């Protein structure tokens, strides 16, 4: 009965849908461990070319691996230490901000009374307690510190991935023919992820430097910290800009008043729009081949599946599914056309060239 013309397609779709639901449920169940694996794999893909170049210059596999690991560990220690110190500084500053928030709240109510707003409107506004944001911010910042314990697991997985990396091509060639499309797809995927992350880093640093200079000129507390935050949140597509904007604007509002806060929002928005809408698409649009809408939807999906780490992994994981499973599948041409930039399925990538 499954082979009948009227029923063959529907049962197949149901089976595929059920399989997808089971896979997603499994990923959610082991999200914490998988996050460490995915993040380690992402870092391994980014540093693998450096390890290969060191070996090409005559360094032994052990020495090249050691240098790469020392570099990663050094960057990680600096970043974790910077985040820990900065978070502690912000937490210590929160009581001062609470006093400034009380003064801002008092002046706001005075201005509302001067404008003659009705008591009903004031009552509706008072249902939102601005001071409740202080404990919330403190708990979020402390949560960041608590989550740093997963770094050791990521580093251990990364270590074994890099140790085994030189053997992977030989194993794949032993299992798959040299002209296998899966080898070509893997090369295209690695190239796309490497290019995406490098460009994201470059654009994030450019945006952060300009924003940090603007904050230093204004005199905002923790300007350098907010600049580093802008680099980190830049890896989160679509909403990263907003996440990196909220803390410095809130601090500016408390310290400098609404006018300077609005001015900072304008600076952030102008810089971000120029980079994201005019500069970045010329470099990344062709490589990704994914529409902005679908990137945003994938961000929501992977964050729901994997938690906060899913926001960082959304684009790499979506690229994996698109390149490895959809691009060359005749039955998936409609799906590829729907998710692709411009509404048309892009031509297959020259994976062999990119994979080198």
DSSP result, 161-221: HHHHGGGHHHHHHHHS-TT-HHHHHHHHHHHHHHHHHHHHHHHHHHHHHHHHHHHHHHT-T
Percent of the chain residues past pLDDT 70, beyond the cut:
74
- 50 sits in the region (left: phi over 0; alpha: psi -120 to 50; else beta) called alpha
Mean pLDDT, rounded, of the chain: 77
Q: Which of 230, 226, 270 is nearest to 248 (CA)?
A: 226
Span 40-44, average pLDDT:
89
Q: What tens digit of pLDDT does each residue of 206-216 get?
A: 888 988 998 88
How far does CA 340 lie from the centroid of its chain? 20
Q: Does residue 200 have a pLDDT over 50?
A: yes
Span 293-321, average pLDDT:
86
Name the least confident of 6-15, 204-213, 322-331.
Answer: 6-15
Is 241 within 8 Å of 268 (Cβ atoms)?
A: yes
Is 90 within 8 Å of 82 (Cβ atoms)?
A: no
The token pair at 32 is 């914490």
Q: What tens digit of pLDDT does each residue of 76-87 get?
A: 788 878 877 887
In degrees and rounded to multiples of 5, residue 61 shows phi and psi of: -55, -40
Percent of the chain residues past pLDDT 90, beyond the cut:
2
CA dist 307 and 28 (Å) reads 9
* Residue 355 binned pLDDT confidence (cut-offs 50, 70, 90): very low
Q: Does residue 159 have a pLDDT over 70?
A: yes
pLDDT at 246: 86
In order of 115, 162, 222, 341, the CA distances from 257 in angstroms are 19, 50, 17, 41
Span 297-325, average pLDDT:
86
The count of other CB atoms within 10 Å of the CB of residue 228 is: 18
CA dist 251 and 139 (Å) reads 17
Q: What tens digit of pLDDT does each residue of 82-110 get?
A: 877 887 777 777 777 776 776 766 766 66
Span 165-178, average pLDDT:
75
pLDDT at 108: 67
Span 159-185, average pLDDT:
78
pLDDT at 185: 85
In degrees and rounded to multiples of 5, residue 179 shows phi and psi of: -95, 20
Q: Which of 241, 236, 250 is nearest to 296 (CA)?
A: 236
pLDDT at 332: 64
In order of 12, 48, 113, 292, 350, the CA distances from 333 in angstroms are 17, 32, 61, 19, 18
How far does CA 86 lie from the centroid of its chain? 21
Span 41-56, average pLDDT:
88
pLDDT at 218: 86
pLDDT at 132: 53
pLDDT at 285: 55
DSSP secondary structure letters along 280-346: HHHHHHHHH---HHHHHHHHHHHHHHH-THHHHHHHHHHHHHIIIIITT-GGGHHHHHHHSGGGSPP
What torsion do the CA atoms of 247, 72, 74, 64 make, to the nearest 10 degrees? -160
* Residue 356 binned pLDDT confidence (cut-offs 50, 70, 90): very low
Question: How would you write 25-47 as a 3-class SS string?
Answer: HHHHHCHHHHHHHHHHHHHHHHH
Instruction: Tell me which of 18 and 344 has the higher pLDDT.
Output: 18
* Residue 114 binned pLDDT confidence (cut-offs 50, 70, 90): low
Span 4-24, average pLDDT:
75
* Residue 3 binned pLDDT confidence (cut-offs 50, 70, 90): very low
Q: Does residue 283 have a pLDDT over 50?
A: yes
* Residue 331 binned pLDDT confidence (cut-offs 50, 70, 90): low
Alpha helices in 234-291 (DSSP H): 240-256, 258-274, 280-288
Q: Does residue 204 have a pLDDT over 80?
A: yes
Is 313 within 8 Å of 303 (Cβ atoms)?
A: no
The token pair at 255 is 């310290």
Residues 6+ apart with CB under 8 A from 103: none
The token pair at 61 is 């596999």
Is 305 within 8 Å of 31 (Cβ atoms)?
A: yes
Instruction: Tell me which of 137 and 183 has the higher pLDDT.
Output: 183
């Amino acid at each position: 009965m499954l082979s009948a013309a009227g029923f063959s397609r529907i049962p197949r779709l149901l089976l595929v849908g059920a399989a997808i639901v089971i896979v997603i449920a499994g990923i959610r169940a082991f999200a914490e461990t998988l996050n460490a694996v995915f993040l380690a794999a992402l870092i391994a893909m980014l540093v693998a070319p450096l390890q290969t170049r060191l070996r090409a210059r005559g360094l032994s596999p052990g020495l090249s691996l050691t240098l790469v690991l020392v570099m990663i560990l050094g960057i990680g220690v600096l970043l974790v230490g910077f985040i820990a110190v900065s978070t502690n500084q912000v937490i210590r500053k929160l009581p001062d901000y609470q006093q400034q928030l009380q003064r801002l709240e008092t002046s706001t109510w005075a201005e509302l009374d001067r404008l003659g707003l009705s008591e009903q409107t004031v009552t509706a506004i008072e249902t939102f307690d601005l001071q409740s944001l202080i404990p919330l911010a403190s708990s979020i910042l402390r949560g960041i510190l608590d989550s740093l314990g997963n770094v050791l697991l990521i580093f251990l997985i990364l270590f074994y991935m890099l140790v085994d990396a030189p053997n992977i091509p030989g194993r794949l060639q032993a299992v798959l023919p040299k002209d296998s499309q899966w080898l070509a797809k893997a090369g295209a995927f690695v190239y796309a992820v490497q290019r995406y992350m490098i460009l994201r880093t470059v654009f994030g640093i450019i945006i952060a430097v300009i924003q940090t200079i603007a904050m230093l000129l204004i005199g905002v507390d923790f300007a350098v910290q907010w600049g580093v935050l802008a680099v980190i949140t830049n890896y989160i597509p679509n909403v990263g800009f907003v996440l990196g904007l909220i803390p410095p604007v809130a601090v500016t509002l408390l310290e400098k008043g609404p006018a300077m806060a609005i001015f900072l929002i304008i600076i952030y928005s102008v810089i971000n729009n120029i980079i994201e809408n005019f500069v970045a698409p010329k470099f990344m649009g062709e490589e990704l081949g994914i529409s902005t809408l679908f990137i945003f939807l994938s961000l929501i999906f992977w964050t729901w599946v994997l938690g906060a780490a899913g926001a960082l992994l959304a684009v790499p994981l979506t690229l994996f599914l698109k390149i490895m499973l959809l691009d060359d599948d005749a039955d998936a041409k409609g799906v590829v056309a729907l998710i692709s930039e411009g509404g048309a399925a892009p031509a297959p990538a020259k994976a062999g060239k990119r994979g080198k």
